Amino acid sequence: MKFGGTSVGSAQRMKDVSKLITSSGEPTFVVLSAMSGTTNSLVEISDYLYKKNPEGANNIINKLEQKYIKHINELYATEEYREMTAKFLREEFEYLRSFTKILFTSFEEKVILAQGEIISTNMVTNYLKECGIKACLLSALDFVRTDKNAEPDFNYIREHAKIQLEANPGYQIYITQGFICRNAYGEVDNLLRGGSDYTACLIGAALQTEEIQIWTDIDGMHNNDPRIVQNTKPVRQLYFEEAAELAYFGAKILHPTCIQPAKFAGVPVRLLNTMDPTAPGTIINNEMEHGTIKAVAAKDGITCIQIQSSRMLLAHGFLRKVFEIFESYKTSIDMVCTSEVGVSLTIDNTSHLTDILDELKQYGTVSVEKDMVIICVVGDLSTENVGFETLACEALKQIPVRMISYGGSNHNISYLVSKDDKQRTLQALSDTLFKD
């Protein structure tokens, strides 16, 4: 069971989470994020330290410490546990202050960023112990690792998670930190922002748990963005590939790469709502439901680049030259459409845009459109299926569509539209595809 920052965001929430994780009475592995806002504060502290402003850092540290003192006063009923946790917090905050006196590099930053999860897991473990539950805190730094490519080292995780469990037998609840890990060199590192989902999926896959539950504060994945579209509904079941496409193309509920380990291990992932624990949520598993469109998602901040050249006509190797330019600037491409005399593609990372455009001009006439949005329709879109592509395109008959990509996978059609058309595109798709 993984709980995100909002789900452990106050003393009361931590109590609610404790109730949820103990209610089944079965042995449960729990992954926690830092309390909401904490990782952002730790990033801010690091920013001040990079800028050699210890006073700025200390101000944030002091504010954060005040908040935590309040939380522990509310969380614990006994003086013993309150004092024990207060002592732990005092040491934590002294540790954070110690960074204001030393040379600050990215190594120190990663150690600082790790403290949010270390604090939240200690608080909840102490609370469970105070309630008389057999709870064991395992340090993710002892068994979650990345390899030399900064990707999770799954074999290491599987082996060492088992070693940790065997060394600590007989507990009802095992708790560990999301997000944090060690890298191939043994240094403290992390799985990037929002990485706690990833930790949970890695551990669930490594231990072959019955399922992986990701607890957030909404009722599963919706069939469209509920913030901008009316009448969205939760999707009850998704195939792993469908969930991966939705997560990558904008559904904020899940970290995009995190479901891969669960998919390979065949462990279902269930998205659940801490505010409404009995709601069914969304289950993601290896079953592909045929003949349905599941959901629509949008990815903002897309830049479209078109390269047109008569030299492309009947030539080979043109696309390779174009793609190599993007590769050399470590810029990944999302959508591609080609014709005999041109290619259009999209990127979301524009940090090297000027250099990329400069190099592309050797090969043709280049034009750029910014502020575009990829709208992605996900479901059973295999090529044998008839009707769904037509239906989606029919929904967009009033919208100036810049690119369409279909056939890349069996689960997706993507449309590129201008940001100004995002809302009406999403609404039109919902009205046509999910009208009951």
Judged by the rule CB under 5 A, the positions of this chain that interact with Mg ion are 4, 194
Provide, rounded to whole angstroms, the least separation between the CB of residue 255 and ligand ASP: 7
Specify the pairing of strand 412-418 against strand 188-190. Answer: unpaired
Q: What is the DSSP letter of 252?
A: T
User: Which option in ligand ASP, Mg ion, none does residue 195 bind, with CB closer than 5 to 8 A by kind?
Assistant: ligand ASP
- Closest distance of CB 170 from Mg ion, Å: 31
Amino acid at the residue 403: M
Angle separating helix axes 154-167 and 196-207, nearest 10 degrees: 70
Q: How far is CA 41 from CA 176, 196, 300, 350, in A?
A: 21, 17, 26, 27
Q: Which does 152 bind (CB under 5 to 8 A by kind): Mg ion, ligand ASP, none?
A: none
Distance of CA 249 to the CA centre of its chain: 12
Q: Are 342 and 308 in contact (CB under 8 A)?
A: yes
Q: Which does 34 bind (CB under 5 to 8 A by kind): ligand ASP, Mg ion, none?
A: ligand ASP
Asked if residues 312 and 341 have their Cβ atoms less than 8 Å apart, the reply is: yes
Quote the least distance from Cβ 4 to ligand ASP, whole Å: 6
Report how many helices (DSSP H) and strands (DSSP E) the chain contains, helices first.
13, 16
Per the CB < 8 A criterion, the answer to whether 45 and 60 are in contact is: yes
Binding-site partner at residue 261 among Mg ion, ligand ASP, none, CB < 5 to 8 Å by type: none
Check residue 267 and report its DSSP letter. Answer: -
Minimum CB distance to ligand ASP smaller for 22 or for 39: 39
Contacts of 211 (CB under 8 A, 6+ apart): 204, 267, 268, 269, 270
Taking the C-alpha atoms of residue 202 and residue 199, their distance in angstroms, rounded to an integer, is 5
Q: Yes or no: say if 116 and 79 are a contact pair by the CB < 8 Å rule.
A: no
By Cβ distance, which residue is nearest to ligand ASP?
A: 196
* Beta strand ranges found along 114-154 (DSSP E): 135-137
- The minimum distance between CB 4 and Mg ion, in angstroms, equals 4
Give the one entry of ligand ASP, Mg ion, none that residue 9 binds, where binding means its C-beta sits below a cut-off of 5 to 8 angstroms depending on kind: none
- Minimum distance, C-beta of residue 248 to Mg ion, in the bound complex (Å): 16
Of 49 and 181, which has the nearer Cβ to Mg ion? 181
Out of Mg ion, ligand ASP, none, which partner does residue 178 contact, by CB within 5 to 8 A per kind? ligand ASP
Closest CB to ligand ASP among 5 and 250? 5
Q: How far is the CB of 435 from ligand ASP (least distance, A)?
A: 35
Out of Mg ion, ligand ASP, none, which partner does residue 120 contact, by CB within 5 to 8 A per kind? none
Helix axes 38-50, 106-130, angle to 10 degrees: 150
Q: How many CB atoms lie within 10 A of CB 309?
A: 18
Q: 203 or 322, CB closer to Mg ion?
A: 203
- Least separation in angstroms between CB 187 and ligand ASP: 18
- Least Cβ distance, residue 218 to Mg ion (angstroms): 12
Task: CB nearer to ligand ASP: give 11 or 191.
Answer: 191
The listed partner (ligand ASP, Mg ion, none) that binds 39, CB under 5 to 8 Å by sort, is ligand ASP
Closer by beta carbon to Mg ion, 120 or else 414: 120
Q: Site residues (CB under 6 A) for ligand ASP?
A: 4-5, 33-34, 39, 116, 178-179, 193-196
Structure tokens at 21: 């994780």
Q: Which does 240 bind (CB under 5 to 8 A by kind): ligand ASP, Mg ion, none?
A: none
User: Looking at this protein, which amino acid is placed at residue 37?
Assistant: G
Nearer to Mg ion, 85 or 177 (CB): 177
In this complex, which beta carbon is closest to ligand ASP, that of residue 17 or of residue 373?
Answer: 17
Q: Taking the complex as a whole, how short is the minimal distance between the CB of residue 60 and ligand ASP, in angstroms?
A: 16
Q: Which does 122 bind (CB under 5 to 8 A by kind): ligand ASP, Mg ion, none?
A: none
Q: How far is the CB of 197 from Mg ion (least distance, A)?
A: 7
The β-bridge partners of 237 are 283
In this structure, what token pair is assigned to residue 409? 């996978």
Q: Of the two residues 8 and 61, which places its CB atom closer to ligand ASP in the complex?
A: 8
In degrees and rounded to multiples of 5, residue 151 shows phi and psi of -100, 150
Nearest-angstrom CA–CA distance, 378 and 242: 6
Give 199 or 344: the residue with its C-beta nearer to ligand ASP.
199
Locate 375 and state its tokens. Answer: 């709208």
